[in-house]
Structure 1
């Protein structure tokens, strides 16, 4: 593909979305009203570029969105999103260490009533509040679930 694009450019196609400057092939991408030139990455180097932006010591094994955003403003290659997504899904470190960091919310379960006093108590502590005339600023509430 790389050689094919260079050959097309040498034939002086005015409508080409590629540009060759100093032996580097660029993809010209229109973003809004601006045109941006992105370095074209040949297929043999795609995995290495993704690895630098995803798996190197400074890259931090970020997810798809951050990795893609870091790459899309500098480089271009065909099927870029799919290639990045596939590479990240195959990353062994991400598979080993990325797991859900939050627990799913469970269902509420009723608390069984105790059969006698002082078998189950609830304690709430709050404050500080404005100091009372007796010098108190905290409230400690203790409730016996049996006599509640």
Structure 2
């Protein structure tokens, strides 16, 4: 197609003949210009002409790489990448090329957030008493103590912000954590009120 178009643009005689030019190409011939050995395309007369990229996949991928993957490109999404490419270059189905390139970009796939809606953060209810709502968290990767423990479990009263800490191995499980809670926290903070009264 490009060879026919170049011949048509370079020769008045060929341009005026019906040889090898499809009706569609002849209708769009005014959008193409040949300048300095490069073929340019202008979608509208007011637009800046864009360099027509030949059917060379390596060249197209190189252009997309330069616009999308380099630090200047910044791994922008499909629309912004298309806007950047389409101001300088043009080839058939450019939008689809850009979409496929951005969609398969490994860096974008690893770092871009999911398009699905994320539930908003909900605040926790305000505590009504000490040690009734409790927060718990683990901290691992600490230097080993004499027993070989490398972690800490932290139990925090959400009302008073009082914290109880216990050293734990990095192999702690749910049962071990529950036993630690009963031994270190419930033992000191919860008072089980069991009143047995007898009236005589």
Normalised by the shorter chain, which TM-score bucket? 0.5 to 0.7
Task: Give the 5 Å matches for 1:52-131.
Answer: 52-100=66-114, 104-105=118-119, 117-120=129-132
Report the RMSD for the aligned CA atoms in angstroms.
3.3
Q: TM-score, normalised by structure 1?
A: 0.64
Distance in 2 (CA, whole Å) between partners of 1:104 and 1:76 is 37
Q: Answer 1 or 2: higher relative contact order, Cα 8 Å, separation at least 6.
A: 1
The residue that corresponds to 2:135 in the other structure is none
* CA distance in 2: counterparts of 1:76 and 1:99, whole angstroms: 30
State yes or no: 1:10 paired with 2:24: no
Superposed CA deviations along residues 109-140 of structure 1, whole A, max 9, x for unmatched, are 995986xx4345769xxxxxxxxxxxxxxxxx
Gaps of 5+ in 1: 124-148
Displacement of 1:97: 2.1
1:37 to 49, 57, 67: 49
Question: Of 43, 50, 54, which residue of structure 1 is paired with 2:64?
Answer: 50
Q: What is the CA deviation profile of residues 12-69 of structure 1, one whole-angstrom value per residue up to 9, with x for unaligned ones?
A: 33861211111000012206xx243111111212111111100123211111121111
* Structure 1 counterpart SS, 2:97: helix
Q: Distance in 1 between matches of 2:97 and 2:66?
A: 14
Higher helix share: 2
CA contact 2:41–2:49 (8 Å) conserved in 1: yes
Rounded to whole Å, the distance in 2 between the matches of 1:63 and 1:90 is: 11
Unaligned runs of 5+ in 2: 17-26, 133-157, 161-200
Alpha-carbon distance in structure 1 between the residues aligned to 2:126 and 2:74:
48
